[in-house]
């Protein structure tokens, strides 16, 4: 079946650096993408989303980039902080569709002081 | 409303026993989802409800698994004759669907961790 995957299972950065987490998706019919953050012992927490009619969306310290040509999604975190340490998942699906979001395997971000 | 609540948070059981998990979604959300997550993996979709109707089931949902949402509010996920391979975190999520609701953002609970001995 089709699934969402991530390029790197782990990413280690220094506090204050910018982090980039990448994701490749395969379902060209997906028109909605979300990044979730999951801390140990907790459920996934929404970070930022983007629809397929956009190629960039910015939030507070986070930016999501979408490249539909190569089916690539990235999450950029500015001035990474120790509290950003977590597992990050991208998910794809329909903006208003009656189907569930499909998740990738996740990237573990470790931020050292 | 404090978000999506799941109970119990942890369950340890012996192989062959039945277990049931409960999920209370955000009150105004009409969609409810169950996912399963094993260590180091992303959440895997199991099933979802719109109100009380179960609209989609993954092939991961074997005959030993059953989910209900009888009144369109809380939901239960029952696993019969548990196996060691059922050990996982069971996540519940809810969302508000409809043309006026905007994006299909899922809000997750903290999960119910199952350990089958």
Q: How confident is the model over A71-82, as pLDDT tens digits?
A: 999 999 999 999
Please state which of the ranges A100-104, A106-110, B42-46, B112-116 shows the lowest mean pLDDT: A100-104
Please name the residue of chain A whose CA is at the shortest distance from the CA of residue B103. Answer: A95
The pLDDT score that the predictor gives to residue A1 is 36
Residues A3, A24: Cα–Cα separation, whole Å: 9
Count how many pairs of residues, chain A against chain B, have C-beta atoms within 8 Å.
Answer: 65
The pLDDT score that the predictor gives to residue A2 is 39
Close Cβ partners of B94 (under 8 Å, ≥ 6 residues apart): B4, B23, B25, B26, B29, B31, B32, B33, B106, B107
Q: Quick one: DSSP state of residue B81?
A: S
Q: How confident is the model over A40-58, as pLDDT tens digits?
A: 989 999 999 999 999 999 9
Q: What is the mean pLDDT of residues B21-31?
A: 94
The pLDDT score that the predictor gives to residue A3 is 45
CA dihedral for B41, B7, B82, B45, sign (positive or negative):
negative
Q: How confident is the model over B84-104, as pLDDT tens digits?
A: 999 999 999 999 876 555 677
Residue whose tokens read 């239960």: B76
Q: Does B61 contact chain A (CB < 8 Å)?
A: no
Residues of A in Cβ contact (< 8 Å) with B44: 103
Q: Does B107 contact chain A (CB < 8 Å)?
A: yes
Q: Which residue has the higher pLDDT, A2 or A109?
A: A109
Mean model confidence pLDDT for chain B: 92
Residues of A in Cβ contact (< 8 Å) with B103: 32, 49, 51, 95-96
Residue among B23, B19, B9, B18 nearest B70 (CA) = B23
Q: Which residues pair with A74 in a beta bridge?
A: A22, A65
Which residues of chain A have a Cβ shorter than 8 Å from any chain B Cβ? Answer: 4, 32, 34, 36, 41-46, 49, 51, 89, 91, 93-106
Q: How confident is the model over A4-52, as pLDDT tens digits?
A: 555 689 999 999 999 999 999 888 889 999 999 999 989 999 999 999 9
Q: Does B91 contact chain A (CB < 8 Å)?
A: yes
Alpha carbon of B57: minimum distance to chain A alpha carbons (Å) = 10
């Amino acid at each position: 079946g089709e699934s969402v995957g991530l390029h790197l299972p782990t990413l280690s950065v220094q506090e204050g650096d910018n982090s980039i987490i990448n994701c490749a998706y395969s379902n060209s019919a997906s028109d909605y993408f979300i990044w979730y953050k999951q801390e140990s012992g907790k459920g996934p927490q929404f970070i930022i989303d983007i629809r397929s009619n956009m190629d960039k969306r910015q939030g507070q310290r986070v930016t999501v980039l979408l490249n539909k040509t190569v089916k690539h999604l990235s999450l950029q975190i500015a001035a990474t902080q120790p509290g950003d340490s977590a597992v990050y998942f991208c998910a794809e699906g329909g903006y208003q569709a009656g189907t569930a979001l499909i998740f990738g395997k996740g990237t573990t971000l470790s931020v050292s002081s | 409303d404090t978000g999506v609540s799941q109970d119990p948070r942890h369950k340890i059981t012996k192989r062959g026993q039945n277990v049931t998990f409960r999920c209370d979604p955000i009150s105004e959300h009409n969609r409810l989802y169950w996912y399963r997550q094993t260590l180091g993996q992303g959440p895997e979709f199991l099933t979802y409800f719109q109100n009380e109707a179960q609209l989609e089931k993954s092939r991961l949902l074997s005959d030993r698994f059953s989910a209900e949402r009888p009144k369109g509010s809380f939901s239960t996920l029952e696993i019969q004759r548990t196996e060691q391979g059922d050990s996982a975190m069971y996540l519940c999520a809810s969302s508000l669907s409809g043309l006026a609701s905007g994006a299909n953002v899922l809000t997750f609970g903290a999960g119910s961790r199952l350990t089958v001995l």
